[in-house]
Structure 1
């Protein structure tokens, strides 16, 4: 996901620094830099902007005033704001206008990137999740270390949840794929016709099940517990074949 950004600051050096940070961040796209809050408002009304890095103390409208006006513009809530300021006494005001973050000058790229990642995470949560059933895709992408790995849906045997990580077990793979996500998130992306949650910690591919007992499923030689919480839904599925 690419976030379209503008930078607003009446100090040229500070404005240049924020612009350089934006340009070296792969998921940010700089759409303009401005020394005036009024100009920023004009641009936001004309273009689709996702995120504003904005100073608070400026000569025409200060950053807090601009943020308030953004919230009341036609068409719903405006872009999210990350304030950049040399003064720490504006934190409460930033909270009142629902600022996403608050960078105290002088800040380095690491601090900037932390705030930018917060904006990206917020934006990703707002995007409606389409399931594999809705998209018709035959694969999904999983974050594995520093890359996205394409996984064929038909190869998934079952998925095991481990707090903030999941293990995806695949046909013809001796070792599972470890990815930084949650079982709940993966469950929303997979077709409910092909996959089922059978335990707090497990999602299984229904077509890969080879045997069933009262409290256990088997996928080949792998044994997976069927919890009481999910037993009714699973038994309803089984009745189609009995």
Structure 2
């Protein structure tokens, strides 16, 4: 598997170094290099690229601004980003745009290779996931969730409920003390989960209907958790209760 890359850096020496590192790495393919983010964006709009090695501090359009544009167009073909910068204060911002890694200048080829290998593993897992989707359409017993920098297979029957948490969701599982924290939205989770098994009962909660222990005054009890049914979802939940009670 070859990962199609571009390098973006306004410093000629840094751009040459990262380009050389890419060309030295057997599983990377350098498709183009740019000394400004505007030209890089034009290339990304016209070509399929997997991975962008991106400097942050650049004139006109910064690397972080380009990353936000890329992240705003998120779809299965959206390229991923490894930041290359001399400033460590952008690490949190890099995580918000779902960057795969963050290389702090000056970095060695060993450090570059470590970050690139992480990217290779990500794309390999993504490829495996896409391959399994055909089978998953027939067998919807599980889903894959992005947890940190890996894809985690989660059995549907093990999910008790899901809670919104800032830009993430918390996925609570049977016999697991701590929930999985995944960078996705409640809307995406609704679309991913089978509607006959899962129901949104609040802006911040989706529940597994099979794991309801009891319901009292629009409060759902699942194990030690109490989840309120909000006004926007009361009618749909009442319809479910009518069928549930027979």
TM-score range, shorter chain: 0.5 to 0.7
Runs of 4+ in 1 over 6 A off after TM superposition: 63-67, 80-84, 109-117
1:30 paired residue number: 28
1:18 paired residue number: 18
1:192 match: secondary structure: coil
Q: 1:74-223 maps to which residues of 2 (within 5 A)?
A: 77-79=46-48, 88=59, 90-91=60-61, 107-108=85-86, 134=137, 136-145=139-148, 147-173=150-176, 175-181=177-183, 182-220=185-223, 222-223=225-226
1:236 maps onto 2:239 in alignment: yes
Gap change, CA 1:159 and 1:24, over 3 Å in 2: farther
Gap change, CA 1:20 and 1:238, over 3 Å in 2: farther
Gap change, CA 1:200 and 1:133, over 3 Å in 2: farther
2:4 paired residue number: 4
Worse overlay, 177-186 or 138-147: 138-147
TM-score, structure 1 normalization: 0.55
Q: Using the alignment, how far apart are the partners of 2:20 and 2:54 within structure 1?
A: 16
1:18 match: secondary structure: helix
1:54 paired residue number: 34
Q: Using the alignment, how far apart are the partners of 2:164 and 2:23 within structure 1?
A: 36
TM-score, structure 2 normalization: 0.54
- Unaligned stretches of 5+ residues in structure 2: 72-83, 101-129
Structure 2 contact 200–233 (Cα < 8 Å) conserved: yes
CA drift of 1:190 comes to: 1.3
- Unaligned stretches of 5+ residues in structure 1: 34-51, 57-62, 122-128
The structure having more radius of gyration, on CA atoms, is 1
CA drift of 1:77 comes to: 4.1
Gap change, CA 1:236 and 1:18, over 3 Å in 2: same
Gap change, CA 1:22 and 1:240, over 3 Å in 2: farther
CA drift of 1:206 comes to: 0.9
